[in-house]
Structure 1
Amino acid sequence: MTEILYPELPKDLKLIADKITQGKIFAYPTESVFGIGCDALNNHSIEKVINFKGRDYSKGLIVISDDTEKLKSFIEKKYYELFCSKVRREKKPTTWIVPSESNISPLIKGDSSKVAIRVTSHMVCKKLCQYSNSALISTSANISGQEPLKIFNKVKKEFNGKIDFIVNGVVGGYNKPTQIIDLLTEDVIRKS
């Protein structure tokens, strides 16, 4: 049975942080849907997320954090300040496609030389990143090709016994997944 944890409870928040650093796979609310995630630096856990979802390895994954500093190691150094300035100016949750450092796992980048990253605006996501001191993998809580889940009870029903834990909470007020913009070209890859 999958454990349900409550981020508003200090003991559960510490337990969540411990489980993230141990490489556990979990579901959690984001700005617009529930996500499936793990520590973004744990390749074994990332591979488990990809396999669990039945996701194509070539697609890559989104990395989220509560601040730009935790994302710095993912971004090619010469583009970090540009990324920070775009994050400060953008008013709605935005996933940025940025040139990545060469040592970033292909599990995260997929077939690309770029990485998808977002500074999250969702309070639960921020807490998870802060308390675990980690950037997190974020991919929609669904099996590839199916609709992403937005309601805790549906996530619990669908994923009970299949992942390590579920963070209780509600998704943010956005009806669609976050917009995706290429940092350098400013092309909008996905509208929100």
Structure 2
Amino acid sequence: MKSFPDPSDARKILEVLQADGVIAYPTEAVWGLGCDPFSEIAVERILAMKLRERSKGLILIAKDIEQLNPFLLGLSVAEMTELKQSWPGPQTWLIPDNNHAPSWITGINNTLAVRVTDHPIASNLCSAFGGPLVSTSANPSGLPPAKNMSEINTYFDQQLDYVVPGLLGELSNPTPIKNLKTGKIFRSG
């Protein structure tokens, strides 16, 4: 596993992401795995590393709401207002899939999970990439999410293309997930 000491190395991160690479990085509560959401190869790598079923879908994180605009088409003014009031921040929303996201991101769902992150490193990664990134907890299915570099190394030794050093945010649990249309909570924070 390669680890680079400079988290602002945007050029290297961009090269990795554009080459179907998979990165690990700190988020609001746990370490995350990320990649270009439009790279089926990279997404399949993450799913294989996590032993996760493709049908479950993945979360997209963004620097700002503008990066998510193509995915938000069709939402009402009231729904957009609710999103804007909660972002940036640790709220993940399930929104109706408007067919802009690839099937390897939505899985078998008719929804898409999205978040505008307020974690500085995750936000800077999206900024460097120029768009949203896949964000999923860094752990094989059934094991607790990685909370430190030692756990990243244990879980994914030699499988990652880039590890962005940094500190986790202040949340103790992964971000809550709520359906924007129904209000149903799928994961509490």
TM-score where L is the length of structure 1: 0.90
Fraction of identical pairs, as percent: 31
- Give secondary structure in 2 for the equivalent of 1:5: coil
Give the 3 Å change call, closer, same or farther, for CA 84–180 of structure 1 in structure 2: same
Runs of at least 5 residues in structure 2 that lack an aligned partner in the other structure: none
How many residues are aligned here? 188
CA distance in 2, matches of 1:71, 1:127: 15
Corresponding position of 1:150: 147
CA distance in 2, matches of 1:101, 1:7: 37
- Give secondary structure in 1 for the equivalent of 2:3: strand
* Alignment RMSD (CA, Å): 1.7
Corresponding position of 1:141: 138
1:103 positional shift: 4.1
Q: Residue type of the partner of 1:48?
A: R
CA distance in 2, matches of 1:37, 1:182: 22
Give the 3 Å change call, closer, same or farther, for CA 84–156 of structure 1 in structure 2: farther
CA distance in 2, matches of 1:15, 1:80: 38
CA distance in 2, matches of 1:120, 1:103: 20
Corresponding position of 2:3: 4
Corresponding position of 2:114: 117
Q: Following superposition of structure 1 onto structure 2, how do residues 46-125 of structure 1 map, counting pairs within 5 Å?
A: 46-75=43-72, 77-79=73-75, 81-90=77-86, 92-125=89-122
TM-score where L is the length of structure 2: 0.92
Runs of at least 5 residues in structure 1 that lack an aligned partner in the other structure: none
CA distance in 2, matches of 1:82, 1:28: 33
CA distance in 2, matches of 1:115, 1:125: 19
Corresponding position of 1:184: 181
